[in-house]
Chain A
Amino acid sequence: MDVYLPIANLSVNGLVIVGLGALTGLLSGMFGVGGGFLTTPLLIFYGVPPTVAAASAASQVTGASVSGVFAHYRRGGVDFQMGGVMVAGGVIGTAMGAVLFRLFEELGQIDTVINVLYVVLLGSIGILMGRESIQAITAEKTGTQVPARKRRHHPLVANLPMRWRFYRSGLYISPLAPLFIGMVVGILTMLMGIGGGFVLVPAMLYILGMSAGVVVGTSLFQILFVTMATTMMHSLTTKAVDIVLAALLLIGSVTGAQLGAQFAQKINPSRLRLVLAALVLLVALRMALGLGYRPDEIYSVAPL
């Protein structure tokens, strides 16, 4: 089934794109991450221009996180106060990201920046997550308790001025910390076309020390709004959102996300995290090799 993409200016096999969306949707449903970290590179690999890929992948993440937010909301798993602060940071972040995107594009280094960010971020988070899940699995096997963490949140967070009470998260901290985290995630979303869930969840757990029950729901809430802002920002600045491409991805990913969520309930969470860690590391490794090996295309063209 050939589909002509009016913004990307090329013809693609529609079923392949739907399948791609389904695959990333499945992952997002299973692991509670957006799946954008897979969509963007795979689209580029398929021949879609990088800017169009990053811009259109964001709207797919929006679709995949909508039903997740509703599900967590019904269970009381969303801290709207914390989420609101992070969204505010996220919107500022996307605006900053848009400026950076344009700057790197003019310098001709946007591809390199995106690649290096992928390698560094995915690499470090994959290692952290992998280590943590292996510890958890061995602890389950031997029956020993995982030693409790000594401190609640990062000392830097405790030192920030102006404290607010976040009841649902069980925290009394400065709103500047979640604002800043939201901002960083916003920048990454704009640059990489990812939802940022895999950055946000560890940051909420280990830097802010939020209670685990609200982490996934609140992260999805923030992702939902930040990817919406990203789609808007891309349509206003790069004009690279391909609505046909996004719709095809969405058809796959929203169904995949539902299936993934049902699937996830049947599997041990520590093992699930280990699989995700392996996957994340795999993508990072592929990207790292891509930087080091001689690329297929030495030359690239951009409009003046």
Chain B
Amino acid sequence: MRAALAILLLVLLGGARDPILVPEISQHEIRLRQGFTGTELLLFGAILNPQGTRAGQDYDIVVVLKGPTESIVLREKQKVAGMWINADSTELRSAPSYYALASSKPIADIVDEKTAAIYELGLQWLQLSPIGAIDPDEQARFSKGLVDLKTRNGLYRQDEAGVQIKEQVLYQARMYLPSSVPIGTYTAETFAITDGRVVTSASSSVDVRKLGFERAVADFADDRSFFYGVIAVAISILMGWLAGRLFALV
């Protein structure tokens, strides 16, 4: 309803040169609780010309879903005296905890490197903000390591044929979130690109959070760690004792 109104409003206002982008997400809240083994989000929407006509042929669509950024230490193992140990490290102030990109064409064919870097379009263009001065080669090595690690954990992904445009109006992209997905507020950004320029973009958010029992446990462990420990100890003693009694009866 709201989406329809927005289209109407934009069409009526006319005049604007920018295309009309109406994004939507299948789910605005993801609940982490028992039985959660990962989920798929559908990011979809419509793209229209300023005149309100089909526009899909003229524009390429890029959809980016990004989790909250974290400050992290990234460590690198090297072989020292026959053992693989953490030998080098770098500190990154803004590593996204989750990053998924889908586009209708390969990024390199849509925009030039400068634009890709400005809008963070693609895993190689993530702005990680390393702390302290480190040389570009080293930085590139660490970034590549992080991207590789997170990609294999299913937390970073890039699908350059992931956006389908139907009837030159509707676009859609599917994004998978694994069970180890970090909590927080995610932003979903949609970019319409033509002639190597980002002409319009729209963003919305997705909340990933723990609910019910899982939330209670996580909060309890954080806020009342002493009682949490007491309960953990009590459970283990009780279960051990109970098993002893039960087997004594057998």
Contact = CB atoms under 8 A, between A and B. Distances in A.
Interface string A103-119: 00000110110001000
Contacts of A235: 221, 225-226, 228-229, 232
A223 to B, nearest CB: 12
A258 B182 contact: no
Contact of B240 (A6, A65, A291, A292): A65
Nearest to B227: A235
Nearest to B72: A301
B231 interface: yes
Contact of A6 (B145, B180, B210, B235): B210
Contact of B148 (A7, A231, A299): A299
Contact of A4 (B77, B179, B228, B230): B179
B83 interface: yes
Interface of chain A: mostly helix, strand, loop or mixed: helix
Given A4-B35, A11-B179, A62-B237, A299 B75 contact: yes
Interface string B21-33: 0000000000011
A233 B73 CA distance: 25
Given A67-B244, A231-B233, A304 B217 contact: no
Contacts of B77: 295, 297-300
B218 interface: yes
Interface residues of B, number: 62
A122 interface: no
A4 B33 contact: yes
A3 interface: yes
A10 interface: yes
A185 B226 CA distance: 23
Contact of A241 (B82, B84, B214, B229): B229
Contacts of B218: 6-7
A302 interface: yes
Contacts of A302: 72-73, 75
B133 interface: no
A275 interface: no
B146 A299 contact: yes
A232 B79 CA distance: 36
B225 A239 contact: yes
Interface string B69-111: 0111111110100111110010111010000000000000000
Nearest to B73: A302
Given A231-B232, A299-B146, A63 B240 contact: yes
A254 B240 CA distance: 5
A91 to B, nearest CB: 13
A9 B180 contact: yes
Nearest to A1: B35
A35 to B, nearest CB: 12
Interface in B165-186: 179-180, 182-183
Nearest to B214: A6
B217 A298 contact: no
| B35, B85, B92 — most chain A CB neighbours (10 Å) | B85
Contacts of B72: 301-304
Given A241-B221, A299-B148, A303-B72, A254 B82 contact: no
A108 B236 contact: no
A272 B76 CA distance: 42
B68 to A, nearest CB: 12
Contacts of B231: 243
A243 B83 contact: no
Interface in A222-255: 228, 231-236, 239, 241, 243-244, 246-247, 250-251, 254-255
A294 B84 contact: yes
A239 B241 contact: no
Contact of A301 (B73, B222, B241, B246): B73
A292 to B, nearest CB: 6
B236 A246 contact: yes
Contacts of B244: 66-67, 70-71, 254, 258
A58 to B, nearest CB: 9
A287 to B, nearest CB: 11
A39 interface: no
A231 B70 CA distance: 28
B85 to A, nearest CB: 5
Nearest to A109: B86
7 contacts: A11-B37, A235-B225, A235-B228, A239-B222, A250-B239, A300-B149, A303-B70
Interface of A: 2-4, 6-7, 9-11, 59-60, 62-67, 70-71, 108-109, 111-112, 116, 228, 231-236, 239, 241, 243-244, 246-247, 250-251, 254-255, 257-258, 262, 291-295, 297-304
Given A231-B229, A297-B149, A298-B76, 8 more contacts: A4-B179, A7-B218, A112-B86, A231-B232, A235-B226, A235-B228, A301-B73, A303-B72
Interface of B: 32-38, 70-77, 79, 82-86, 89, 91-93, 95, 142, 145-146, 148-149, 179-180, 182-183, 210, 213-215, 217-218, 221-222, 225-226, 228-233, 235-237, 239-244, 246-247
